[in-house]
Structure 1
Amino acid sequence: MAKYHKTQKGRTVVAKAKRKYKKTQKGKDKTVSDNMKWRYGITLAEYDEMFETQDGVCAICELPSINCRLSVDHDHKTGKVRGLLCHPCNMSLGVYEKRKDKFEDYLRGI
């Protein structure tokens, strides 16, 4: 493909081929895998292993995620992956972690 980059037409051909590839299942899987590796340091195979270990359900509510992939939960300070969560649990945990003191004060009745 490198030879195509020498002209504008070549660049256009390469860009078109990349867009077409990214629409294929293999291209989508590669994009997901690359994002997981970059963001969380895990491969798609490691994600699939975690998914199987959790029986395909959220680590908190134990419900299956419908119509979307379970989110990779990680400690924002250490970057360590903790498990897979459904979107509502992932969002709730994020809010709780940011406002933990406020939640605990409220629950204690202060």
Structure 2
Amino acid sequence: MRSKMLVVIDDESDLLDLLEYNLLRQGFEVVTFERATHAYEFIKEQRPDLIVCDWMMPEMDGVEFCQKLRSDLTLSSIPLVMITCHNGDKAKNKALNAGASAFLPKPFQISSLVGKVSQLLAAG
């Protein structure tokens, strides 16, 4: 069985490196991007099993990215975990209404992210 491919998008390179390291340790194949626009082109070609995406990014934020992903019928079923420094019900509802499968406010424990990822992959 092949390992599950995750795409992780965050414009903070230190956090991106930390997430990549920890997800690789869990046995996932991980591809990282600092820009959602670059990630989208890759996702169209490779169809990852799951996407982890930050909300606040230049060029295209996570909500816009999620909406774009959900509007593409060939990509709309890919689970997406939105990570963000926004918190509260209003932010969570905005992310979920945009099509996020799960919402995780920063700061978070890596184990919480791994749990969400595993839960979504098992459900799919």
Identify, as 1 or 2, the structure richer in helix.
1
TM-score of the two chains, using structure 1 as the length reference: 0.23
Alignment TM-score, normalising by the size of structure 2:
0.21
Task: Decide which structure has greater strand share.
Answer: 2
Q: RCO greater where, 1 or 2, for CA within 8 Å and sep 6 or more?
A: 2
The structure having more radius of gyration, on CA atoms, is: 1
